[in-house]
Structure formats: structure tokens, C-alpha cells
Amino acid sequence: MKVKSGKSGLLLLAVLLISLTAAAQDKFKPEIAGPYRVLFKPVMSGDAINDHTVFQDAAGNWRMIGIVSRGNGLVETLVTPAFAHAVGNSLSQEMKELPVIFGDYPDQKPKWAPHVIEHAGVYHLYAGPGKIRHYTSPDGIVWTFQAYVIERPFANLRDTMVIKIGQGLWLMYAADSQNTVSVFESSDLDHWTWKGTAFKAIKPAPVYPKWLDISACESPFVIFYQGYYYLSVCLTNSRRDNYSNTVIVRSRDPYSFGIYAGVPQAGVGHACPAPQGQSADYVTTLSAHAAEYIKDPDGNWWITSCGWRGRKTPEGFEPGTLSIARLRWEKQ
């Protein structure tokens, strides 16, 4: 294609540059685009699903692996050595329950918040809390424990999520101490190095007090969309009214999402000043607990929600289930 010379050519070039710059600065926000419906309802393994992972295996079937409990007491919800397991051929249909997995493999300690990714024909599953376990599989069905890939002194390091950000470069996010999300880096999915704090929540956001050294920034999940990294965290200090409080912030830098203090409040005119101390670029809040985000092979986006019984859940959500809804991205 030839670019015209003279003033008309310069004008065309200017228009193209402006268009490209505008496109690069477009910002989007995710919105729940339909009602929640049941994707999986445990029966044999327990009566409630919490943090989970949903992925396609090598045969193209959809699988769910997640925390499961029977009962709503402190022991029942925290001491969970086995994961629930389910399979289905479509995200539009309810999954079939399978026997639990990893009950005593490689240990009988609690297993929380699994996450699965696939690379070069190998499936990788990570799960906490405390020491982060690493399993691999050739098909997403049969798993082999490899190692404890992260051994932090913090017993509640949990809710891992992994994203590929470049050729041979992955980041892992995990809920860490003092209401933070930590980020780890790897070039091979086997060895991980702590790179710092990616996100921190402070008051008046619903955080835990300093003396209770755990993180209210649960279930971190990062999506790269249209030039930005979007971090989703379920920001809850276990109060019933904020149990399904999923906050979305964004950044150009996947290593740093800033400090979050609360939802900016509308001021005079259209200004929405952020709370004092906030540096995070707030996007929106979604009604979901321990949300996973899925883009299917047809390009459709989905969001999931789950949680223990007796907690506040999204409208239309059936208690104890893993539920799913359509998601869309709206330009702001």
C-alpha cells in the first residue's frame, strides 16, 4: 500500500497515529452478562465447593478440581486434604462428579485453591497452603506429584494462579501475609523466585487487623486484555456482607497493581476521588466468591463463583455449588 505524498499523506499518517494511540489507551471493564447457573453440585465428596480451577483436558473435556467440605464448621472448612473432581463436555451443562483426588498424595495436610495451566502438552497443577505443591500430567487426568516448589515461612500462603507473560516467562500470584498478594517468577514452571508484593489492601477496605497475619486478598486471578493486566481479588475479611466482594484493578505492569483502599466515591461533577493512600487503578466490583475466569475456544468469556454455605452469595446462586455465568468486556 502506498501512502500519499504531501499534505493529504501527512494527514492520513496523523489520523493513523491518533487511532493507534487511542486504541492503545482504551480501557475495558468486565461485567457479568447473565444469571449464575450450576456447573457442579457435590454430593459424594461433600456439600460445598470453594476455590477451584476449571480447564480443558487433552481430550477436550472440561474438568473442575476444587476445595470441598462437608459441614460448615471451622474444622470442616479448613481441614480439607482432598479435592473434589468433576468432568463435563461443555460449560453449558452440569458436570458429573468423580472420586476425590490427592487425599493423601503427597501428604494428608489441607489442600487449597488448585490452579491448572497447560504448556507444551504438559498440564501443571499448583496448590497450597503454605508449601506450594506442584503436580504434572500428560493429559489433565492422571497426576504425578513433582515437588514443593515454594516453601515460604508463612503457613497461609495460598490461592495460587499462574499466567504466561512472555516467551518462557510465567508469573504466579498468591495470597500472602498482611493483606497482600505476592508475585513469583519462573522460566520453567518448576523453579519460582519471589519478586515482591503485587497488590496490597488497606483500610477502609475490608482487611484483617495487623495482628491477624493473613490476607483478605483471596483468590487472585490475572487476565491480560487489550493492553492491560486485570487483577481480580476476592477482598473479604470473612464477614458475611463482603464474602462475595470481588474487586478488579488493572495495570500495565503485571508485577505491580498498587495499593487499594476502597471504591472511589463520586464527587462534584464526575470526579471520583480515590480513598486516601490508594494507588491502584480501580475498575469495578463483581458479585462472586473465589472467581475463576475462562475464555472458551469459541471466544466466549465466563466467570465462576462458589463458597461455603451460610455466607452471602450472588443473586441466583445455589448454596454449596460451583456456579457459572457469562462475562463480557465493556469499553469504559
pLDDT in tens, 272-286: 788 999 999 999 999
**pLDDT of the residue at 271:** 63
**pLDDT at residue 252 is higher than 80:** yes
How far apart CA 105 and CA 145 sit, in angstroms, is: 7
> Which of 155, 168, 136, 274 lies closest to 212, judged by CA?
155
Quick check: is 114 in a domain? yes
User: Is the CB of residue 246 less than 8 Å from the CB of residue 286?
Assistant: yes
pLDDT in tens, 176-214: 999 999 999 999 999 999 999 999 999 999 999 999 989
Q: Which domain holds residue 151?
A: 28-331
pLDDT in tens, 279-326: 999 999 999 999 999 999 999 999 999 999 888 889 889 999 999 999
**239 or 72, which is more confident?**
239
Q: What is the CATH number of the domain that holds 298?
A: 2.115.10.20
Rounded alpha-carbon distances, angstroms, from residue 321 to 42, 101, 224, 239, 325: 7, 18, 28, 20, 13
**pLDDT of the residue at 76:** 77
Residues of the chain with pLDDT > 90, as a percent, come to 80
**pLDDT of the residue at 153:** 75
> Which of 169, 216, 221, 218 lies closest to 195, judged by CA?
169
Quick check: is 16 in a domain? no
**pLDDT of the residue at 10:** 47
Quick check: is 66 in a domain? yes
Quick check: is 6 in a domain? no
Phi-psi region of 307 (alpha: psi -120 to 50; beta: other; left: phi over 0): left
Quick check: is 108 in a domain? yes
**pLDDT of the residue at 310:** 85
DSSP states of 13-29: HHHHHHHHHHHHH--EE
Quick check: is 8 in a domain? no
Q: What angle do CA 4, 10, 15 make, to 5 degrees?
A: 105
Confidence of residue 78 (pLDDT cuts 50, 70, 90): confident
> Which of 225, 214, 196 lies closest to 112, judged by CA?
214
Structural domain total, the chain:
1
Antiparallel, parallel or unpaired: β 193-201 and 259-260:
parallel
**pLDDT of the residue at 70:** 87
**pLDDT of the residue at 270:** 57
> Which of 287, 283, 163 lies closest to 220, judged by CA?
163
Quick check: is 225 in a domain? yes
Confidence of residue 1 (pLDDT cuts 50, 70, 90): very low
Residue 6, Cβ density class (10 Å: 0-12 exposed, 13-18 middle, ≥19 buried): exposed
Quick check: is 3 in a domain? no
Q: Burial letters for 65-84: b for 16+ Cβ neighbours within 10 Å, e otherwise?
A: bbbbbeeeeeeebeebebbb
**pLDDT at residue 7 is higher than 50:** no
**pLDDT at residue 4 is higher than 70:** no
